[in-house]
Amino acid sequence: MAVNKLALVRYKTIDECLRNRRRKWTLEDIIEKVADVLYDREGITTGVSKRTIQADIQLMRSDKLGYNAPIIVTDRRFYSYDDTEYSITNVPINDADVEKMKEIVGVLKHFNGFNYFDEMSDMIARLENNLNKSTHQSGNCIQFENNRLLKGLAFITPLYSAILNKKSLLIEYKSFKAKESQQAIYFPYLLKEYRNRWFLIVKPKKNRFLTTLALDRIVAFQELTNEKFIANEGVDFDRYFDDLLGVTKNESDRAHKVILHVNKYHAPYVLTKPLHHSQQVLKEDETGVLIRIDVVLNFELEREILGFGECMKVMAPRMLASRIKKRLAQAAELYQNAVQ
């Protein structure tokens, strides 16, 4: 059964409503939400009819699209899923869809040699691998870094939509240092991944500086339709992270010239896998290699250096060397009274 783009938008929106247990959804609520999404994403101003949404719900309940959604009505007016873990996004794709996707992947592979498709290589490999698995042709031929226990991954799609459609958000957030979560209004600008962990770059309503929120520390969030969105000005996110390892940065931070000595055993590692795109080799001899990177001094940089242990030494700047020395001394103290 062919499904057009607008129908998919409606099904996905209905699915998001029924999965949201923080409120009760009447049919009128769902119609209003679907109409809002169709306007935001497709520019449709005519809304959506009651008959269309009722037909969508019946279709989702059936097996015509393979959903068999357990949609129930409580108190004769509130719609929800009987299974709290259910989502149409978890339903396996059918054989016809798999074949179509294989054709698309085949086309993408033909374009993969062009420069402007370089960044798609990873995505194409993931698609092809998953399609092979879904048709039982083989096991994994390629494995990607993945952490299924990481919290917050379900937020990626709705947050991306909020950024795309310039929606203000009320976010409940609990940092590692906070005892209790707190709510605040934010304007979202960018989603960024670093080492398989996702972050949201925002500007708080009560602060003029950018803030980085970890998705796994977000408790909940909701769109604020009556809160005017403040657009980002003055920051080019295509370049904002160029002088950075990780995601921790203030707008006022500037890159420092960081000089590192790597011993001869680990020198090949940093030469073949540079710490940063700005890396330059200053000197190479029998003791190892002296490199320079131009980066902001932040937590992620320190963690990278500490990961090399005794194999890397900070030569400059002095404040970074002192910081690393102090942290290594504190780490050594943990073993002072260890049982021999």
Place of tokens 């691998």: 129
Nearest to 30 by CA among 46, 42, 48, 43: 48
**What type of residue sits at position 299?**
F
Query: Measured between alpha carbons, how far is 162 from 151 in angstroms, rounded to an integer?
Result: 19
| Cβ proximity of 306 and 327 under 8 Å | yes
| Domain range annotation of the chain | 5-90, 95-134, 153-240, 256-333
* Average pLDDT value over all residues in the chain: 87
- 136 token code pair: 């039982």
Check residue 154 and report its DSSP letter.
G
Tokens 């090949």: give the residue: 268
Largest CA distance in the chain: 80
pTM to 2 decimal places: 0.62
For residue 66, pLDDT beyond 90: no
Give me the pLDDT at residue 192, please: 92
Mean pLDDT of 124-140: 64
Which CATH code of 1.10.10, 1.10.1220, 2.40.30, 3.90.550 fits the domain covering 5-90? 1.10.10
pLDDT at 134 over 80: no
What's the CA gap between 204 and 185, in Å, rounded? 6
pLDDT for res 49 = 94
| DSSP for 160-223, written as a single string | HHHHHTT-EEEEEE--SS-SS-EEEEEEEEEEEEETTEEEEEEEETT-SS-EEEEGGGEEEEEE
Query: What does the pLDDT look like over 182-216, one tens digit per residue?
Result: 999 999 999 998 888 899 999 999 988 899 999 99
Residue 39 has pLDDT above 90, yes or no: no
Asked if residue 3 has pLDDT above 60, the reply is: no
Say what the pLDDT of residue 2 is.
46
Mean pLDDT of 134-142: 59
In which band, very low, low, confident or very high, does the pLDDT at 90 lie, cut at 50, 70 and 90? confident
Report whether pLDDT(80) > 60: yes
- Under CATH, which architecture does the 153-240 domain have? Roll (2.30)
Assign 44 a pLDDT band (cuts: 50, 70, 90): confident
